[in-house]
Amino acid sequence: MNPTYRLPEEFSTDRFLVRRILPSDADAIFAGWATDLEVTKYLTWRPHTELSQTREAAERSHRDWEGGATFPAVICSRDAPSELIGRIDARLFGPRVSHGWLVRKDRWGQGVASEVVHWAVKHALSHPMIYRTEAACDVMNVASARVMEKAGMTQEALLRRYLFHPNVSDEPRDAFLYSKVR
């Protein structure tokens, strides 16, 4: 029998080190993106207003990894592994993995998400029990759509009233669904 899919606790791409979130990452996450209105615009949670919110979220992310269904990780530059520049999540749903990510605003446009998401998609589809990777983004989130395309995903659907982005609207919003299958 094949083992269940898991994102490695640490991996490297050409330019980045990606590792499991630790509770001690909370201060850097708070300063780097958790309070940023632009970074959190298309996320499903509101920006944090207190460090305690970020500490709780980092602890929850660390615990969630143990459950084996979601694998939240931080992205660091290989040249500066103590500097957190973003995050990626891989969520397991049977034979598919759903990805989500964010990048600190001062690193936008540098290919961070494209490189890491491409690696994560390839890794997931290399597992014998995973047949599909997917990600969804708000129809107005052009940058995330481009990341999915660069990762080899194809847009396959417009999902009406699918994602709730409380920083954009009080109602669910339309989203594009992208996937790559084997």
Q: How many domains does the chain have?
A: 1
pTM of the predicted model as reported, rounded to 2 decimal places: 0.96
What pLDDT does 3 receive?
83
Distance separating the N- and C-terminal Cα atoms of the chain: 20
Q: Does residue 5 sit within a domain? A: no
Dump pLDDT digits (tens) for 37-80: 999 999 999 999 999 999 999 999 999 999 999 999 999 999 99
The 3-state DSSP class for residue 57 equals helix
Residue 1 has pLDDT above 60, yes or no: no
Q: Which domain holds residue 54?
A: 10-131
Give the C-alpha separation, 88 to 117, whole Å: 8
Q: Does residue 2 sit within a domain? A: no
CA nearest neighbour of 147 among 181, 182, 174, 120? 120
Output phi, psi for 82, to 5 deg.
-90, -10
Share of the chain above pLDDT 70, in %: 99
Q: Does residue 143 sit within a domain? A: no
Q: Does residue 105 sit within a domain? A: yes
Q: For residue 23, what is the domain's CATH number?
A: 3.40.630.30
Share of the chain above pLDDT 90, in %: 98
CA nearest neighbour of 86 among 71, 98, 72? 72
What pLDDT does 57 receive?
98
Residue 171 has pLDDT above 90, yes or no: yes
Count of residues in the chain: 182
The conformation of residue 30, written as its DSSP 8-state character, comes to I
Dump pLDDT digits (tens) for 128-164: 999 999 999 999 999 999 999 999 999 999 999 999 9
